[in-house]
Amino acid sequence: MTSRETGSVQISRAEATEPLLVVDNLSTHFPTERGVVRAVDGVSLSIKRGESLGIVGESGSGKTVLSRSIMGLLPAAAIRSGSVRFAGTEILDLPAKRMRHLWGAEMAMVFQNPLNSLNPLMKIGKQITEPLKLHLNMNRSHAKATAVRLLKDVHIPEAEQRLNQYPHELSGGMRQRVMIAIALACGPTVLFADEPTTALDVTVQSQILDVINEQRTDRNMSVILVTHDLGVVAGHTDHVAVMYGGKLVERAPTRTLFANMKMPYTKSLMRSIPKLDNPSHTRLATIPGRPPDLVNPPDGCRFAPRCAYAQDRCHDEEPPLAVADDPDHYYACWYPVGSPEFEARDAELRAAGDPRVDAGATI
């Protein structure tokens, strides 16, 4: 029996009515000695089958906790509230016993550091065939043949020989391919990739991102790509969600977002990236200060204390997610990019040569 039969999730029925994954007002809090850390605070998003969503943010923005909260991979002390619906079924309150049927089979995750995620004492082959036997009840030879095919899918040369190797015998890029093969083994409908290329070199990074994209198309699988790198989401996602201080602050189709950023935080992040098109020694725009303390987040907009465009209202009242011209584009800001208040302040800052706006080329 497979998980599709034993689990309570019936993919085909629900698919027609709503997106594959719907996250509604999800919060994840961690009680600590200092107080409650509001790592994820009221995040809502959805993803359709076959789509890819990038979750971008700096360290401590809650992007990793968000992806783990959706999958239910959190320490026991974590308190989740809100709703996560996967293929029409509420999974937030499912016990781990039931979640086991989803993990690996329906939702899989690729982590940042492949060496820490693979078992160093187990041959690659065993690590790939394990979920196949467990979830899909394959016999040994069938599982082995499937494992070889999976390794070929992620472009690992000499796939048969690899089955008998240990993780330390492979390079970083090859290990990450093995991780992807394991994640794909049971044909998941959602793949979470948490900084899958951060530990890899640029030339290898582009190969790995291409493999993930290729498999997404081939398998009509959804991909949630968690990264700090705006460059990575630009080329490899359909939608982007920007996180700041545990909140979702902007969400849009990728092209719309890059063409028309509304949230000053997104804009500032973009401006602080060194660009190859600019001559050397171009002064970089900076975001002063540091991300908010999630035990005592500031009142109002969480970005306001670091925002060059913040006004009194921003410090007092929290902006709700508003809809932009594109109905799929949401942002949480009182004075978004393009508003008269923003533009007036921007002109002022530029005239004063403020380090928070770049003096050179704009994006």
Partner 1 sequence: MAGTGHAHLRDGDRVLSVKDLVVEFGVSRHATVKAVSGISFDVLRGETLGIVGESGCGKSTTGRAVMQIPRPNSGVVEFEGSDLTELGNAELREARTRVQMIFQDPISSLNPRRTVRDSVLEPLAIWGKGTKDERLKLVDEILESVGIDPKRAAESRPHQFSGGQCQRISIARALVLDPTLIICDEPVSALDVSVQAQVLNLLEDLKETYGLTLVFIAHDLAVVKNISDRVAVMYLGKLCEVASSDDLYAQPAHPYTNLLLDSIPEPDPNADHAASQVIGEPPSPVDPPSGCRFHPRCSYADDVCSAEEPQLRPVGTDHFVACHHPVEVQVSANPTN
> Residues 166-185 vs partner 1: string with x where CB under 8 A?
-----xxxx-----------
Is 360 a binding residue for partner 1 by CB under 8 A? The answer is no
Q: Would you say 259 or 344 has its CB closer to partner 1? A: 259
Query: Which one of residues 285, 307, 308, 314 is an interface residue with partner 1 (CB under 8 A)?
Result: 285
Query: Which one of residues 22, 234, 337, 349 is an interface residue with partner 1 (CB under 8 A)?
Result: 234
- The 3-state secondary structure of the chain reads CCHHHHCCCCHHHHHCCCCCEEEEEEEEEEEECCEEEEEEEEEEEEECCCCEEEEECCCCCCHHHHHHHHHCCCCCCCEEEEEEEECCEECCCCCHHHHCCCECCCEEEECCCHHHHCCCCCCHHHHHHHHHHHHHCCCHHHHHHHHHHHHHHCCCCCHHHHCCCCHHHCCHHHHHHHHHHHHHCCCCCEEEEECCCCCCCHHHHHHHHHHHHHHHHHHCCEEEEEECCHHHHHHHCCEEEEEECCEEEEEEEHHHHHHCCCCHHHHHHHHCCCCCCCCCCCCCCCCCCCCCCCCCCCCCCCCHHHCCCCCHHHHHCCCCCEECCCCCCEECCCCCCCCHHHHHHHHHHHHCCCCCCCCCCCC
Is 261 a binding residue for partner 1 by CB under 8 A? The answer is no
Is 281 a binding residue for partner 1 by CB under 8 A? The answer is yes
Give me the least distance between CB of 294 and partner 1, in Å please: 14
Is 359 a binding residue for partner 1 by CB under 8 A? The answer is no
Is 205 a binding residue for partner 1 by CB under 8 A? The answer is yes
Q: Would you say 273 or 323 has its CB closer to partner 1? A: 273
Site for partner 1 in 50-89 (CB under 8 A): 58-59
Give me the least distance between CB of 55 and partner 1, in Å please: 15
Q: Would you say 138 or 209 has its CB closer to partner 1? A: 209
Give me the least distance between CB of 70 and partner 1, in Å please: 23
Q: Which residues bind partner 1 (CB under 8 A)?
A: 58-59, 171-174, 201-207, 209-210, 228-232, 234-236, 254-255, 258, 268-270, 272-288, 290, 355, 363
